[in-house]
Amino acid sequence: MGSIRPPAVAGTFYSGSSEQLGADVAGFLAAAETGTAVPKAIIVPHAGFIYSGSTAASAFVLLKAAAATIRRVVLLGPCHRVPLSGLALSSAEAFSTPLGNVAIDSEAARAIANLPQVQVFDETHAQEHSLEVQLPFLQAVLEDFKVLPLVVGDANPDMVAEILDALWGGPETLIVISSDLSHFLDYERARSLDASTSRAIENLDPAAIGDDQACGRNPVKGLLALAKRRGLKVETLGLCNSGDTAGTKDRVVGYGAWAFYEGDKSEDFEARTRTLLDEHGVTLLALASDSINHGLADGTPAPINLVDFPAAITAPGASFVTLKKNGQLRGCIGSAQAHRPLVTDVTDNAFASAFRDHRFSPLMVDELVGLELSISVLSPSSPMSITSEKDLLKQLRPQIDGLIIEDKGMRALFLPSVWRQLPQPEQFLGHLKAKAGMARGHWSPTFKAWRFIAAEISA
- Enter the DSSP assignment of 65: G
Helix residue ranges per DSSP H, 169-232: 187-202, 217-230
Q: Where in the chain is the domain with CATH 3.30.700.20?
A: 267-378
CB-based contact 22:99 (threshold 8 Å):
yes
Please tell me the CATH code under which domain 382-458 is placed. 3.30.1490.150
Longest dimension (CA), the chain: 77
Q: Where in the chain is the domain with CATH 3.30.1490.150?
A: 382-458
CB-based contact 74:175 (threshold 8 Å):
yes
CB-based contact 380:233 (threshold 8 Å):
no
CB-based contact 13:47 (threshold 8 Å):
yes
List 321's β-bridge partners, or say none: 333, 375
Side by side, the strands of the sheet bearing 454-458 are 328-334, 318-325, 371-378, 454-458
3-state secondary structure of 170: coil
pTM: 0.62
CB-based contact 179:43 (threshold 8 Å):
yes
Kindly state which CATH superfamily the domain 267-378 is placed in: Hypothetical protein ph0010; domain 1 (3.30.700.20)
CB-based contact 178:41 (threshold 8 Å):
no
- Enter the DSSP assignment of 306: G
At the second CATH level, the architecture of 4-263 is 3-Layer(aba) Sandwich (3.40)
Q: How far is CA 189 from CA 185, 227, 290, 448, in A?
A: 6, 29, 53, 18
3-state secondary structure of 402: strand
Residues 52 and 408: their CA atoms lie apart, in Å, by 24
Q: How far apart are the two ends of the chain, measured CA to CA in Å?
A: 60
Task: List, in order, residues 6 or more apart from 431 with CB less than 8 Å away.
Answer: 414, 418, 422
Pair type for strands 94-97 and 4-5 = parallel
E strand residue ranges, 280-336? 318-325, 328-334
Residues 42 and 260: their CA atoms lie apart, in Å, by 6
> Which parts of the chain sit beneath pLDDT 70?
1-2, 36, 264-267, 385
Per-residue pLDDT of 438-459, as tens digits, reads: 999 999 989 999 889 999 999 8
